[in-house]
Amino acid sequence: MAALCGHGAPIALLSPAYNEAVTIVQSVRSLLSLQYPAFEVIVINDGSKDATLDTLIEAFELKPVSRAYDLAVPCNEIRGVYASPRLPRLVVIDKVNGGKADALNAGINISRAPVLCSMDADSLLEPDSLLRAVRPFVEDPERVIAVGGTVRLANGCRVRDGRVVEIGLGRHPLALFQTVEYLRAFLMARLAWSRMGALTIISGAFGLFRREAVVRAGGYTRGTVGEDMELVVKLHRQMRREKRDYRIAYVPEPVCWTEAPESWRVLGRQRSRWHRGSLETFFRHWAMFLNPRYGRVGLIGFLNIFIVDVLGPVIEVLGYILIPVLWLLGILSVEYLLAFLALSFTFGITISVCSLALEEIQLRRYPKARDLALLTLAAIFENFGYRQINNLWRIRGLWQYLRGSESWGVMTRKGFRAG
């Protein structure tokens, strides 16, 4: 707590890497150049099959070191810890493969800072993102246990030396649709949920956590695909059970850039996995659903997951199937169908437009008026086709969940646009 009361609480950046040999050096250099007074970068090589570890050893002149650590949360065997006297802020862990959650747990065990920052190895952080994200921990050290930041899409942005130097919009329709989705999710939904004290997810691409609280909750749950959401729900559960006064905050400014898939197949896999993660979390913590003991999280947050994630895709897809069937049977009022469809689509468009307006009035990150016009068009056209396909991916996620699949699928990335 004392460490949280000064100018900057020490932060351990946990960056799990699996087969990232091509990009890892640039990512680590970018992390090491962040503007923050006290941080260490812990790269966790999660049993990569490629030359990730060798590349790191060679690029940063790493040597095996002894580091005192505790197995506070479960993780697969740590084979070695590497560091370099030239770069005291960098620590590399080599461990037996166990997935992202397991890798993050290894990072938690090795870390010594009171605040952890979990991120993806291929995400790019804005130079001052840590300074802004740590603010709630310093301003309210007794209560804040986690802080989420905004994740934006780097498609179309110009990237140099691991930094976004020019913000732009991806031109692929999928990138545009996802940009609108991300704005809606972060600027509207997460902000609102955090204000209500019922935020149930902090993106795995960028989130800060108080180490002590994460350790008490048992760390990340291994073998899950939605480990980011699961951890936040676990933290809520733990704090409510212990009757502790706590806060999980969301700060819109700290920005982490990530690359969105521009291939239908890869995007479909990602969305199915996200949906599976959401269902896993919901059913794993089923006891919280509508349980007043868990306050707003149980009563409103879980009700939202139930309606949006559990029932939502099933009802929507069922609707798409039933409409032609009922029409053929002659028991469908086409007039009402069209009126309800219009209401549903225009409501979706209005929500998206509100997110765009928030972005434009408060943040204004996209530099050109043309970008704003393109995003408005995307907010309209995503309702016709993209939204329906998204639902099919979510149904696939439901099917995979029911079959007990634990696969992550292959996430193919195109790479950032060089500056």
d(CA 245, CA 26): 40
Nearer to another protein, 219 or 268 (CB): 219
Cβ-contact 24, 17 below 8 angstroms: yes
Smallest Cα–Cα separation from 206: which of 275, 124, 127, 99? Answer: 124
DSSP annotation string for 45-68: EES-SSSHHHHHHHHHT-EEE---
Q: Which of residues 94-113 bind another protein (CB under 8 A)?
A: 112
The one among 21, 26, 69, 188 contacting another protein by CB under 8 A: 69
How far apart are CB 107 and another protein at their closest, in Å?
15
List the structure tokens of 354: 């509100």
The one among 67, 296, 414, 417 contacting another protein by CB under 8 A: 67
The site string for another protein over 46-65 (x = CB under 8 A, - otherwise) reads -------------------x
Smallest Cα–Cα separation from 96: which of 112, 73, 80, 109? Answer: 80
The one among 35, 97, 346, 388 contacting another protein by CB under 8 A: 346
Nearer to another protein, 2 or 331 (CB): 2
Cβ-contact 250, 193 below 8 angstroms: yes
Nearer to another protein, 300 or 349 (CB): 349
Strands 39-46 and 87-95 come out as parallel
Residue 144 C-alpha from the chain's centroid: 19
78 binds another protein (CB under 8 A): no
Reduce the DSSP state of residue 408 to 3 states and report it.
coil
Nearer to another protein, 3 or 299 (CB): 3
The one among 25, 32, 78, 141 contacting another protein by CB under 8 A: 141
336 binds another protein (CB under 8 A): yes
The one among 38, 78, 87, 138 contacting another protein by CB under 8 A: 138
350 binds another protein (CB under 8 A): yes
d(CA 410, CA 304): 29
The one among 142, 161, 166, 406 contacting another protein by CB under 8 A: 142
CA–CA–CA angle 333, 336, 342 (5° rounding) = 140
376 binds another protein (CB under 8 A): yes
The one among 25, 78, 353, 395 contacting another protein by CB under 8 A: 353
Q: How many residues bind another protein (CB under 8 A)?
A: 44
Smallest Cα–Cα separation from 198: which of 295, 306, 307? Answer: 295
d(CA 231, CA 415): 29
Nearer to another protein, 347 or 399 (CB): 347
The neighbour count for residue 229, using CB atoms within 10 Å, is 24
362 binds another protein (CB under 8 A): no
163 binds another protein (CB under 8 A): no
The one among 96, 314, 373, 411 contacting another protein by CB under 8 A: 373
Nearer to another protein, 247 or 414 (CB): 247
The one among 369, 384, 404, 418 contacting another protein by CB under 8 A: 369
How far apart are CB 336 and another protein at their closest, in Å?
7
Contacts of 248 (CB under 8 A, 6+ apart): 144, 145, 146, 147, 148, 194, 197, 199, 202, 232, 235, 236
135 binds another protein (CB under 8 A): yes
The one among 72, 78, 392, 395 contacting another protein by CB under 8 A: 72
For 366, which DSSP code? Answer: S
Is the dihedral angle over the CA atoms 174, 179, 185, 190 positive or is it negative? positive
238 binds another protein (CB under 8 A): no
Cβ-contact 83, 90 below 8 angstroms: yes
The one among 91, 119, 356, 398 contacting another protein by CB under 8 A: 356
165 binds another protein (CB under 8 A): no
How far apart are CB 2 and another protein at their closest, in Å?
4
Query: Cα–Cα distances in Å, from 88 out to 7, 80, 82, 334?
Result: 21, 17, 11, 68
Binding site for another protein (CB under 8 A): 1-7, 65-70, 72, 112, 135, 138-143, 212, 335-336, 339-340, 342-343, 345-347, 349-350, 353, 356-357, 360-361, 368-369, 372-373, 376
